[in-house]
Amino acid sequence: MDSLWKVYNNKTQPDTNRLKALQTISKSYITNNPDTSIILAEQLLALANSSPSGKNKKWIATAYNIIGVALKNEGNFSKALEYQLKSATINEEIGEKKALSACYNSIGVIYYNQANYPKALEYYLKSLAICEETNNTKGIGNCYTNIGLVYKEQLNYTKALDYYFKDLKLAEKTGDAQGLANCYGNIGIIYSDLANNAKALEYYLKQLKMCEEIGDKKCLSNCYGSLGNLYKGESNYSKSLDYYLKTMRLLKETHNKQGIGTCYLNMGILYNDMLNYKLAILYSDSCLKLSEEIGDVDDERYAYQNLATAYSKIGRYKDAYENHVKFKQLTDSIFNEDNSKQLGDMKTQFEVEKKEAELKIKSDAEQEKLKAIAAEENKRQQVVIASVAGVLLVVVVFSLFLYKRFKVTNRQKIIIEKQKQKVDAAYDMLHEKNKEVMDSIRYAKRIQTALITSEKYFENVLNRLIKNN
């Protein structure tokens, strides 16, 4: 903390460093000392507005958010809502999605504390949609818990537990100690409402251990209050009162008006159970005044109910009737048919939008897959076309080669035929000349034969001479 103060007080530091330091300091007080957190956040706002480069909208929105959360922790819901809406408007304008989802969640919490459950669910679902879009695991867990709280108020314990266990799974996965403590407490409350005190005590003790480890006073006060309620349900009034007093001490230390009002209410109910109607009326009346001041409609209606019970027990039936009528009027305004339908419609709309988004993602993925297939097919076609073109080119080249060879061969054939014709002509001429020679020889021989005596004649003459001798 000292190092952070040094950074903030050192005006030679860049504005961003000073703003970050002051933001961290302010947020460190937001739960246990919200008044101090508001003072520091106002300094943060002043620094953001006086930035040399002009108003720094991001840090202005951050300051508004811190002030809103601190005011909510004090129980000043109307003022808290004003600051959170300012922060949300700026974050939406500059596109800071993570900060915007946090604002929506805080706005939902404020509406929840004012018992405006349709509005609370509307902003929780808005926050959840952004958290899922940006993969904000911690934010998703917070939304699950808050949606579970709305279902708890509608007495839909199965649905509430479903969302609490979703959050618990995320908190275990991320090692979020604060988230785990809140989950244990919320699950314990459901089991307590279901009269499963053993299971409720198991989770409350887990919460208590975690709260003590992280030193969170708000978490501890919630846990003490839950244990007080549990022991009250078991008629262990002394132990219940002990935990309520522990809760009250921590709530006053942290200036948590909403928590103090709830504690007054619990003590009023406890004293009714203990048949101490004077103290029951005193604490219920204190709860009523504080709830009206901060706009906590839920605690206000229970205060009327508790006062009606106490007054009826001491015979003040007119006061009892008047308080019961006010209790019924507030209850009907919260849980009327239109509100229940509106809650269902918003949940249905969210599921439809979520499904549409999933289908769009799926459709986009399929389109990408089809594009990839088309690209691959196109690539393959190009390869085939290139191959065919290559083959055609080879065929054309080979055809040109054959054509040239054919022309050469044809020319050679013509030359050969011409030469053959010449040879044939020479042969015919030679044959003619040879015939003429042979004819001459035959003719000469005939002449010779005619002129010269034949050998036979000489042979006969010679033979006669020999015989004569």
Return d(Cα 283, Cα 227) in angstroms, integer: 19
CA atoms within 13 A on the CB side of 290: 22
Task: State the chain's maximal CA–CA distance in angstroms.
Answer: 211
Give the pLDDT confidence of 128-162 residue by residue, as tens digits. 999 999 998 888 998 999 999 888 888 899 999 99
Vertex 290: Cα angle to 288 and 292 (nearest 5): 65
Q: What is the pLDDT of residues 384-442, one digit of tens each?
A: 566 666 666 766 666 666 667 667 666 767 776 777 677 666 667 767 776 776 777 67
Closest CA to 142 of 174, 114, 188, 116: 174
Q: What rounded mean pLDDT belongs to the chain?
A: 82
Q: How distant is the alpha carbon of residue 440 from its chain centre?
A: 122
Q: Could you give the CA distance from residue 343 to residue 441 in angstroms, rounded to a whole number? A: 141
DSSP annotation of 275 reads T
Min mean pLDDT across 11-20, 97-106, 137-146 is at 11-20
Question: What are the structure tokens assigned to 174, written together?
Answer: 């991320």
Q: What is the mean pLDDT of residues 94-104?
A: 91
pTM value? 0.59
Locate 81 and state its tokens.
């809502």
- The answer on pLDDT for 460 being more than 60 is yes
Residues 6+ apart with CB under 8 A from 152: 160, 186, 189, 190, 193
Angle (CA) 285-201-209 rounded to 5° is: 95
Distance CA 103, CA 97 (A): 10
The domains found in the chain, sorted by start residue, are 1-135 (1.25.40.10)
Measured between alpha carbons, how far is 210 from 218 in angstroms, rounded to an integer? 12
Residues 6+ apart with CB under 8 A from 79: 71
